[in-house]
């Protein structure tokens, strides 16, 4: 009933489909996928903000040319927060009359962090957030349909 995946751009996508003649069911679940795309967004941000980076320590130029230290995330950890630009760029979008939802970063480097590159292992943040929400989403959709279709 529900399928979630990460696109080649590092975007978490929830796609939900019902038969064309299932108008009553479609109305019953209309708001559920959108709620979960917001939850995927929130969980990805929470993972970044609560992670303790264990990667390389860099010295970088901060405001007013002041040198500051930044510890990068290690492979397998969510990206380390430096400025907050990545997590503040994560948005959600609805398409196809609410039957398809996306959550992901709009900054160009988000996909490289999520998927990795030939020179850098992935620092996934959208995939884990999506994975932890697929089962609750499926359950919520099933319950909404049962409630509105008269099933027990």
Predicted pLDDT at 148:
74
* Any domain includes 18: yes
Predicted pLDDT at 21:
64
* Any domain includes 68: no
Residue 148, both tokens: 């509105």
3-state secondary structure 36-102: HHHHHHHHHHHHHHHCCCCCCEEEEECHHHCEEEEECCCCCCCCCCCCCHHHHCCEEEEECCCCEEE
Each residue's pLDDT tens digit, 20-65? 667 777 777 778 888 999 999 999 999 999 999 999 999 988 788 8
Tally of domains within the chain = 1
* Any domain includes 60: no
Full-model pTM: 0.85
pLDDT band at 151 (very low <50, low <70, confident <90, very high): low
* Any domain includes 63: no
Each residue's pLDDT tens digit, 136-148? 988 988 888 888 7
User: Which range marks the domain in which residue 31 is found?
Assistant: 2-52+87-149
């Amino acid at each position: 009933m529900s399928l979630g995946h990460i696109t080649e751009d590092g975007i978490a996508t929830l796609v939900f489909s019902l038969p064309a003649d299932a108008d009553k069911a479609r109305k019953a679940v209309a708001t559920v996928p959108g709620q979960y795309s917001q939850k995927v967004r929130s969980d990805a941000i929470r993972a970044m903000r609560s992670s303790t980076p264990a990667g390389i320590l860099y010295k970088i130029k901060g405001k007013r040319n002041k040198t500051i230290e930044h510890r990068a995330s290690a492979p397998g950890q969510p990206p380390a927060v430096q400025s907050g630009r990545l997590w503040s760029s994560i948005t959600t979008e609805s398409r196809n009359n609410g039957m398809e939802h996306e959550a992901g970063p709009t900054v160009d480097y988000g996909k490289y962090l999520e998927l990795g590159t030939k020179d850098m292992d992935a620092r996934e943040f959208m995939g884990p957030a999506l994975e932890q929400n697929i089962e609750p989403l499926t359950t919520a959709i099933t319950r909404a349909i049962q409630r509105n279709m008269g099933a027990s």
